[in-house]
Amino acid sequence: MTRGVILLAKNKLIKVLAGIMLFALGAGSLTSLWAQSGRDPFAPYVIEEPEIAQPESIDEKGSDDETPQKPPLERYPLSDYRLIGVLIGPKSGVVLIRTRERKDYYLQLSDKLGNSDGVIVSINAAGIVVAEGENQVTIPVRNKTVASDDNF
């Protein structure tokens, strides 16, 4: 009886080992198929769409020359900029300017502003002074002022 149990156990063991070998061979054939296809099996299935050319704006159609456009802080007259914040420290100050496009920029002394080669020459709590050649233009802060006596 024990001899029959041993044969039965050997047959089951052989079947299990044969199944493992077939599985391993099958996985090996899948790996070889991936290698033959040249595709990375871990790469995502993403289809890249070509970029669609945007039509030119009205301003760009009229200009034939290829000169680059000025930066946003040097494109418009000073009246088109809005001073929305002033930070004054012991050594220097920083201002927050909003452009026509509603983008905000931080500026310091001697930064350029405006289309007439304006340069910031003074920063105080009330606003900034911009020198455009011989003229000096004051731009006041246009937001509400919040003052605090607390030292942080």
Mean pLDDT by 10 residues, the chain (152 residues): 49 66 57 63 71 64 63 92 91 91 93 94 93 93 64 48
Asked whether 75 and 114 are in contact (CB, 8 A), the reply is no
Name which of 92, 100, 95, 96 is nearest 74 in CA terms. Answer: 100
The residue extents of the domains of the chain are: 1-49, 72-140
**Euclidean distance between CA atoms 15 and 4, whole angstroms:** 17
pTM, two decimal places: 0.51
Mode of pairing for the β-strands spanning 119-124 and 127-132: antiparallel
* Backbone Cα Rg of the chain: 37
The CATH number of 72-140, from 2.40.160.100, 2.30.30.830, 1.10.20.10, 3.40.50.970, is 2.30.30.830
> Can you give the pLDDT at residue 98?
93
> Can you give the pLDDT at residue 7?
47
Name which of 104, 138, 144, 103 is nearest 124 in CA terms. Answer: 138
**Euclidean distance between CA atoms 131 and 39, whole angstroms:** 63
